[in-house]
Structures are given as C-alpha cells and as structure tokens.
Structure 1
Amino acid sequence: MNTVLSSAITSLLQYGPVVRVAFYFQQQKLIMAEECYFYLMASMRKMRMPIPLSYTLEYFTELITAAVSEKQLESGVVDLYAFVEPSSKQTELHINITSTQSVLGLKSPVEIDVLREISVNTHILSQIHTPCPENHYAAVYAAENELDDVILLNPHKRIARCATGNLLLLNENTIRIPKQTEGAYISPLMENFVTWLNKKERVTIEEAEINGFETQKAEELSLISDASGLHPVQKIRNKSFGYTRFEQWAADWAASFLLG
C-alpha cells in the first residue's frame, strides 16, 4: 500500500471511506502512540476499510517519527488520514503535521452554544472522526454566529458532543462526560486525560446522559479535541465560566509526560 504525503491528496478525501486520527509528539517523541494506533484500527474496521497487514504499531511509529524528524519539529499534532483511493480501491494515507509549543497544555478559551436545528446520530459511525454533513453545518453555524464551536444534541435532545470534540462538565469533584452511546466521540486524548485525573487527582469520572441545560449548572467546562487539545469553555450563551481547576490539571497532566 502507498503512503501519500502530498497535500494534493486532500481533494481525494471527498471520495469513499476516510477516517482521521491524531497522533502526538513531544520533544520529537511520540506519546500515546498505542492508544491512537488502536483507535485508528478500530475506526478503519467500523468504516469497512481494507487494512493492510503492514499496518502495525511499529509501521506507524516509524512512519510518523520519520515525518517529524524530516521537518525538525519539537512538539505537535500529526493528523493521519486513512482513505480508500477511488480507482485502486486500496487504502492509502495522508499525513499533515501541525507544530505547537505545548501538545497537552491548556489551549485558548472558547465560546460555544447549543445547536438545536439538527441532531447527530448515536450509532458507531458517530463515534469516529469521519467527514459528515452535521459537522460541516455546525462549523458554518458557529462561524456565522461568532462562536468557536457548538454543542450538538442527539435525537433524544441530550448532549452528544461538539463538532470538534467532547465536553467535560465539572461540579465539585466529579467530571461528567456524555456516553459514547449518546453520540460522543471516542477520544484517545480524552481517555488519557480523564484516566490521569481519576488516578492522580482522585476526581470521579462519570459517563452520563446529559441534558443541554445542565451546562448552565456546571462550575467549569472544557472542550477536548483530538485535533487541537484541551480548551476551557469561557462562555455559553450569557453565562461565563472560570477554568482555574482545568488550567492546573492541564499543566500537571502535561508535566507528567515530561517526567516520564
């Protein structure tokens, strides 16, 4: 199977099955590689894509490490697209690398709101990163309303996710996140973060069915995106939120990888 690194391949992403999975590197070394790899394999299986026998963890580790070394970047995010080339019907890859000073630290605050005009499904394809009209609609709506993202509801009018990632709602010492069966993304980045929180900070993690109005009752909220990281939610509608605890947790989480 071919590995395609040219930006010209972007136009082919409109055809056939395609999935996107983010990999992360810090100090020129991959972190969370195993979690991201297994998410990639699971996503490809859900999309019924052919998976070459050569697609091992070692293969992707060497591929991404070589691409990062070639660009001489220290830290960043590798967006890896796996897609079925229309003519050959074979799986190919496209890699896009974004350099960032801090992969895991807290990113810029965001302003969001609930989008009620459409809903997202709760089946297995809603849990993976693949092009869908709901995300396109959400991105346009957010831009037109000067928002950074929107909260998407499922057909039961409960929170599924945002267009770019998942929501985390903090009250006292409990973080609530929407269940995957509610339409939330499977997220290696979020899983790593909440597992670390549960172990190191003794924060209770609760996967739940969450109504849209419950965001107004949260003490702090964050949007975690595999593509861009952890963003504190600063405002929903007319209510503003602080993010002191998420800010400290993000710093400690990032430091734990440096210590490791």
Structure 2
Amino acid sequence: MVIFNDVLIENDEAKLPYNNRGTFYGDGVFETIRCFQGTAIFYESHYFRLMSSMRLLRMEIPQFFTPEYFEEQITRLYDTSKVKGGHSRVRISVWRNAGGLYTPTDNTVSFTIEMTDLSQIFERSEKNEVELFKDHLLPLGMLGNLKTSTKTVNILAGVYKTENDYDDMLLLNQNKMVVESISGNLFLRSENIIKTPPLVDGCLNGIMREQVIAQLKRMLNYEIVEESITPFELQRADELFSTNVIQGIKNITKYRKKEYEQTAGDELRSFFNEKLFS
C-alpha cells in the first residue's frame, strides 16, 4: 500500500501524470525514515529537514503538512502493511505539480508515502570495499545538503560500483575533497580523532550524521571535528565508516591496499542498537 495525495491505495494504482515535474526536471525532495514497530526514529529531525528542503526549493507547503499528520500516515501504513519483525523503511516523496518549463507556474505539490520491510537492526560490515569515484563531482553549497530528486552523481557512482565489483564508492566535490559515500555521510578516524566533512563541502545534512556527531561529543575516548577530508588521508586512516538512518553505521573494510579497523564503528553501532531497538 502507498499513500498518494492523502489516499491509501495499492501500489500499482498510484498513477503519476507523465509530465510531473519530478520526472521532467527532478523537481522534488524526499525523506527516508527508519521505523521500529510503527514509530519513526529521529522523527522530529526528519520532519524539519523535509519542511526546510521544501522552503529552500520555494515549494508551497500544504497547511495539513503537520508533524502529527505524517505520524498518523506512518501509523496508517504500518497497520495495513506486512512488515515483519517491526523494522521498516518509510519514504516520503514530494514534487512540484506540473506547469511551466524550467520556471514553474505552479508551486503546489503532490506527494507519496510508502513503507517497506527492513527486518534487521544495524549490522556489522563483513565486507565493504570502496574506491574513489572521479568521473563526476558533487557541487559545493547548500543544495548538496538536501535530499533532492536530482541524484545523478550518486546514480552514476552506483553504476560504476556495480560494473567494477566494488561495494560502495566515495564521492568527491568540486574541490576534490572526499565528501560522502553513495548513500551515507563519511567519518574518518586517525587514533582518537574522528573527522567528518563540513556541510559547506556539499555533503548531505544527514540525520544519522547529526546523531553520531552528538554521541561522539559525549564519548571521552574520541574527539570529533568537522573538517575537509583529502583523498591522501584515506590510506593513512585507522578507520572509515559511513552513516545513514537505514544502515546505521556501516564500516568500510578496504580501500585499495588499506584494510581498516572497526573499533569506533562497533562502539557506535552497539550504542544505537541498544538505544533504538531494545
């Protein structure tokens, strides 16, 4: 089942107009939320990021787009879904309605909310070999912080990954700094110093990134800094991991000839599994 403009229908009945601006121009945003037993994790952060993204893209926010409304719709989907084990993934997609060419003539929106089964807690990475993706670069600035429908660089990195038998790719920005993985924020540990790229480098303003930074600040054995990461630092690091709300903390096990520890990743993973799913 999927909620399409407030109507709960079967997935194959959700028909989009051929000229919707999400398809024509990538004129949309989305939010991916992890849920446990029908409750959205880090819900407030997700909600405000979605509203902020819509405002930045000058979309007209419907009056009923309240925090309570989306919580009710998630419960509505959970009650009609076949989710096993209580773990699920919710995607809220919002796009500007048809009208105009590059310049829209209508700033109202349509939306869908869908739920799929996850059936696991945050799990340890046994194999996650990565490489740098150099064919295309991410832009600097605020638009890179948003979850927009325009994810061409990430898509092409995913194609390259599959064609060359890697597990993930690390993406570069226009300054040739390492920004993130295909679907997660990047953290690099050297001894007790953990670095993650600042938002001005164009990385996603990730919800799990925010939570991991907050937790690292509470831990006495690590120091967290937001600082650009050069490609040369990767092979000198003790540990690399990426984060998102679906996979949690995903350790990188190998980059070229370098194999990494999983010390901080294991500590963080244990903390969040106990906090969120116990």
Q: TM-score, normalised by structure 1?
A: 0.89
Q: Report how far residue 96 of structure 1 moved.
A: 2.9
Aligned CA distance change for structure 1 residues 14 and 167 (closer, same or farther; 3 Å): same
Aligned CA distance change for structure 1 residues 24 and 159 (closer, same or farther; 3 Å): same
1:81 aligns with 2:85: no
Q: Determine the C-alpha separation between the residues in 2 that align with 1:159 and 1:141.
A: 17
Aligned residue number for residue 99 of structure 1: 117
> Are the equivalent residues in 1 in contact too, given 2:212–2:268 (CA < 8 A)?
no
Q: How many residues align?
A: 259
Question: Which segment is superposed worse, 222-231 or 152-161?
Answer: 222-231
Deviation readout 1:45-90 (Å, 9 max, x if unpaired): 2222221111111111111121122215311221211112326753
1:69 aligns with 2:79: yes
Q: Report how far residue 213 of structure 1 moved.
A: 1.4
> Are the equivalent residues in 2 in contact too, given 1:77–1:103 (CA < 8 A)?
no
After TM superposition, the structure 1 = structure 2 runs for residues 171-182 of structure 1, keeping only pairs within 5 Å, are: 171-182=190-201
Q: Determine the C-alpha separation between the residues in 1 that align with 2:216 and 2:88.
A: 22
Q: Determine the C-alpha separation between the residues in 1 that align with 2:161 and 2:276.
A: 33
Q: Secondary structure at the match of 2:71?
A: helix
Q: Determine the C-alpha separation between the residues in 2 that align with 1:43 and 1:148.
A: 30
Amino acid at match of 1:140: V
Q: In structure 2, list runs of 5 or more residues that go unmatched.
A: 100-105
Question: Which segment is superposed worse, 3-12 or 62-71?
Answer: 3-12
Q: Determine the C-alpha separation between the residues in 1 that align with 2:221 and 2:47.
A: 28
Q: TM-score, normalised by structure 2?
A: 0.84
> Are the equivalent residues in 2 in contact too, given 1:106–1:232 (CA < 8 A)?
yes
> Are the equivalent residues in 2 in contact too, given 1:122–1:182 (CA < 8 A)?
yes
Q: Determine the C-alpha separation between the residues in 2 that align with 1:63 and 1:197.
A: 33
Deviation readout 1:184-216 (Å, 9 max, x if unpaired): 110112211221232245532210011111111
Q: In structure 1, list runs of 5 or more residues that go unmatched.
A: none
After TM superposition, the structure 1 = structure 2 runs for residues 149-228 of structure 1, keeping only pairs within 5 Å, are: 149-200=168-219, 203-228=222-247
Of all paired residues, the percent bearing the same amino acid is: 27
Aligned CA distance change for structure 1 residues 9 and 193 (closer, same or farther; 3 Å): farther
Q: Determine the C-alpha separation between the residues in 1 that align with 2:230 and 2:92.
A: 33
Aligned CA distance change for structure 1 residues 254 and 38 (closer, same or farther; 3 Å): same
Amino acid at match of 1:43: S
